[in-house]
Every structure is written in C-alpha cells, then in structure tokens.
C-alpha cells in the first residue's frame, strides 16, 4: 500500500501540472512546452499502468498456488501394501488400498505437524524451557496418524509416555501440547501434566509407569461392552513393556470376557537402550497373546497401519473379542531427551532408516508419483506447518504459568469445591472442578 500511495501522489501532482499548462494564456509558452507536455502525458500513462498493476497484484495468488490450482490432479490412486504376518487368523487386511487426494494431503500435513512439533520440543528442551521427562516420537508418525485414520472419533485410545503424537491426532492443537510441555496455563492439562500426562476426549494419556496403561485399556474396553456401545479401545505399549506380567493378565481377562480391545505393541526395536533381541526370548510380539489372534504390520507405512487398524477394529466390533497388533517402527531420537541415542546403535543405522523407510518420505513419493499432489503443493504445506509450530512455540513460552493457588484444582471433574491438605496440616489448597 505504501507503493500505491506514492504512485497516486505522483499522478496527482502530474495532473495539476498538466492543468496549469493547458490553462496558460500564452500561445508562445505552449509552443515552447508542447514537447515537454508530450513527455508528461507519456509519463502519466506509465503511472496509471503502474497503479493498475499494483491494484491487480494485490488480489493475485502466489504463482505456485496458481499452478497448483490449474493443474489436474487425480482424485484417488490404488497402492499395493505389504502383507501382514498373521497369527490365528485365516485372512488379514487387504494388500491393496485406495488413497484419495484429500486423505493423502490430510495425512501428510498431520505427519509433518507431528514431526515438526517434536523437533521444536527438542529445541525447547535444549534451551531449558521444557524440563523433566520428555520422550519424542519423530520417526513413528505413521503409527499415530495411521491408527487414528482407521478408527472413529468415538473410539478410545490409551498409550504410554511417548504420547505427543497421539495427543495431536486425537484432536488437541499444537499450541495446547507445547504449552503443556512448558508447564503453562494454556496447556491441555493446565500446565500440571507435562510430557507424559496429556488428555483429550476419548484419550486417556500418557502414562508414566511402564505397562500400567494396558490393564486400564482393558477396563475401558470393558466399559464399552458394558454400556452396549459399538466402540473399541486401542491400548498401546512399547516393546520394552511387552514382558510385563500385567500385560498378560490383561490379555487373559480381555479374552475371557471378549472385550473390544486392540492391544498394540509399538516395536521401535529398542526398549530404552536395549535391543529387542537382547531383551526378549521371542521377538514375535504379535504372537504373544497366544490364544488371542495377532498381526504384524509395517509401522513405517501409514497405509499399512490404516488398513490393519480398520481390520482389527472390525474384528473387535463383530464381538469376537480382543486382537493384537505389532507395529514395526523406529524412533530417530533416543529413548528420552537424556539419551543421545547413539551409544547402543550407530548413526549409520539411523540414517539408513531415514533414507529408506521414512514414513513422510514414503507418503510424499507415492502422492507425487501418482499425481495426487505436486512437490510445490507439499512444500507449501511444509511452510504452513512450520509457521504453525513457530506460532505455537511463541505462545508456549509467553503464556503464564498456573498460579500456586490453583495447585489443587481439577482433581475431580464435577464435584463441589473442597480443601486439599498441602505438605503439612497448616497448608490448605482449594480444589475446584
């Protein structure tokens, strides 16, 4: 607008000059200045052309967006996906699937958002803005996005402490997640939960005790069945928790009562710093349910995860009882921010997975090669995601921390206010739902 204002002012002065010239009484003066006026008129035309360009350019889209809008993309494409290994199942998920352009763009944006959010969390942690425990899931984006794509919003999900991605796919914003990580009032748990304790509708966390969420997931599935709802519960745990006794107890109860529970082992090949081969006598985690059917899935391919989840959810909804899924995936970061992640595996191993099996790269290549999207369009999404993450990080660092008097708030969801004892009997906190 500054440029437009300057052009208009120059045009106004030029019009005034022309008026004075045309109105001058001396014909001799006109003869002398005739050539000069011709130059002025030419300059006037240029000024008006410049004004026109500025006005028309204000409403034009960037060139890349015009190209994307004018290009004819395919509405959908069919892809072959890796066949799942099966246990106690006669048939499994399909080996081909259809991806629509709309879904592909949505999945790409979600996975990029999770990736960038985790990298921003890494940066904030190293700046000592995020403190305490922090477990990142970059590399495992196909798991959280693919699982969500295979269920309904009314279904339920509970997981362990590597929960940021699931918190996002269950419907919370990046702003709420990063603000929770920094312990701010605008966080999804009002700044009191931190990395391992985030919650949303039909999402039960984020649990800090290894394997403890699995019996809770079976209980949520029991509630679904008891209330007669056509809902399932996804109960996730890692390969490091797969040897916990409470998991096998939950298997047994879920099978006895035919609960609509999908037990999901996210096998990222390392339980903290111990490889699965050193920690488990059998690494066929999808067979661990014994009497429970299972399937092993390529957890780096979002389409494999989506189709396997749809299959497992349909199995549970049919009243057949629980099913077990093993997602073979990989984390790029260490176990937590205190783990550099290269003392028990080589940098070359990490780079090989990045170059050959990265879930975002796999989806991007499929979409571009099948004319579902262009490289330019996906780059625009990358730019938009980066801006969203930066805006959320600014909010997460500027938002105030919750005041001390709110320490006892939100213990119960709908109870009248009551007092909570502090560190000693003379300290009291008021609890408000």
- Strands of 310-424, DSSP E: 323-328, 418-421
Asked if residue 345 has pLDDT above 80, the reply is: yes
Q: Could you identify the residue written with the tokens 């409403």?
A: 59
pLDDT of 7 > 50? The answer is no
pLDDT tens digits, residue range 186-231?
A: 999 999 999 999 999 999 999 999 999 999 999 999 999 999 999 9
- CB 187, CB 402: distance < 8 Å: no
Hey, which residues does 262 pair with through a beta bridge? 234, 323
80 has pLDDT over 70: yes
Write out the two tokens for 12: 């106004």
CA 301 to chain centre: 16
In this prediction, residues 301-323 reach a mean pLDDT of: 98
Each residue of 144-196: pLDDT tens digit?
A: 999 999 999 999 999 999 999 999 999 999 999 999 999 999 999 999 999 99
Could you give the CA distance from residue 235 to residue 224 in angstroms, rounded to a whole number?
13
The CATH classification number of 86-398 equals 3.40.50.970
Region 382-409: mean pLDDT is 96
Determine the pLDDT at residue 414: 87
Residues in CB range of 271: below 8 A, 6 or more apart: 238, 239, 240, 241, 279
Q: What is the pLDDT at residue 124? A: 98
Average pLDDT for the chain:
89
8: left (phi over 0), alpha (psi -120 to 50) or beta: alpha
pTM for the predicted model, two decimal places: 0.84
Lowest mean pLDDT among 12-16, 136-140, 414-418: 12-16
pLDDT in tens, 248-291: 999 999 999 999 999 999 999 999 999 999 999 999 999 999 99
Asked whether the predicted pLDDT for residue 400 surpasses 70, the reply is: yes
Lowest mean pLDDT among 47-61, 352-366, 389-403: 47-61
DSSP string, 37-105: HHHHHHHHHHHHHHHHHHHHHHTPPPHHHHHHHHS---SEEEEE-PPPEEES-S--S-SEEEEEHHHHH
Least confident of 63-72, 295-304, 310-319: 63-72
Q: What is the pLDDT of residue 68?
A: 63
Instruction: Examine the pLDDT at 65 and tell me if it is beyond 90.
Output: no
β-bridge mates for residue 423, sequence order: none
CA distances from 63 to 66, 133, 266, 381 (A): 5, 45, 43, 15
pLDDT for 20 = 43
pLDDT above 70 (res 89): yes
Q: Which pLDDT belongs to residue 71? A: 81
- pLDDT value at residue 413: 84
* 38 has pLDDT over 80: no
Tell me the percentage of the chain whose pLDDT exceeds 70: 84
**Distance separating alpha carbons of residues 172 and 251, to the nearest angstrom:** 30
Q: For the chain, which residues make up each domain, given as ranges?
A: 86-398
């Amino acid at each position: 607008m500054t440029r437009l204002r300057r052009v208009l002012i120059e045009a106004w002065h030029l019009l005034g000059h022309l008026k004075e010239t045309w109105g001058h009484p001396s014909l001799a003066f006109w003869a002398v200045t005739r050539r000069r006026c011709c130059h002025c008129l030419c300059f006037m035309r240029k000024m008006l052309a410049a004004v026109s360009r500025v006005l028309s350019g204000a409403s034009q889209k960037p060139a890349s967006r015009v190209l994307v809008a004018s290009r004819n993309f395919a509405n959908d494409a069919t892809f072959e996906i890796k066949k799942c290994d099966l246990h106690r199942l006669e048939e499994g998920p399909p080996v081909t699937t259809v991806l629509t352009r709309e879904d592909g763009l949505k999945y790409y944006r979600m996975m990029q958002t999770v990736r960038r959010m985790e990298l921003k969390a890494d940066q904030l942690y190293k700046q000592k803005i995020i403190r305490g425990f922090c477990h990142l899931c970059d590399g495992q984006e196909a798991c959280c996005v693919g699982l969500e794509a295979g269920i309904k919003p009314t279904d339920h999900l509970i997981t362990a402490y590597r929960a940021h991605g699931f918190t996002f796919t269950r419907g919370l914003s990046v702003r709420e997640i990063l603000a929770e990580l920094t312990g701010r009032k605008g966080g999804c748990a009002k700044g009191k939960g931190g990395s391992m304790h985030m919650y949303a509708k039909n999402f039960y966390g984020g649990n800090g005790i290894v394997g403890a969420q699995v019996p809770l997931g079976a209980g949520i599935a029991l509630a679904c069945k008891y209330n007669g709802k056509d809902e399932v519960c996804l109960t996730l745990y890692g390969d490091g928790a797969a040897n916990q006794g409470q998991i096998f107890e939950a298997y047994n109860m879920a099978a006895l009562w035919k609960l609509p529970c999908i037990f999901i082992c996210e096998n990222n090949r390392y339980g903290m710093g111990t490889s699965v081969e050193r920690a488990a006598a059998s690494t066929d985690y999808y067979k661990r349910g014994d009497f429970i059917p299972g399937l092993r899935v390529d957890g780096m391919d979002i389409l494999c995860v989506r189709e396997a989840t749809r299959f497992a959810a349909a199995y549970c909804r049919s009243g057949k009882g629980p099913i077990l899924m093993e997602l073979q995936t990989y984390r790029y970061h260490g176990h937590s921010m205190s783990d550099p992640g290269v003392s028990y595996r080589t940098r070359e191993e990490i780079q090989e997975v990045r170059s050959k099996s990265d879930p975002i790269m796999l989806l991007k290549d499929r979409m571009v090669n099948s004319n579902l999207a262009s490289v330019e369009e996906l780059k625009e999404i990358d730019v938009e995601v980066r801006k969203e993450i930066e805006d959320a990080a600014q909010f997460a660092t500027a938002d105030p921390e919750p005041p001390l008097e709110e320490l006892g708030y939100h213990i119960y969801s709908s109870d009248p206010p009551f007092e909570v004892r502090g560190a000693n009997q003379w300290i009291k906190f008021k609890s408000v739902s």
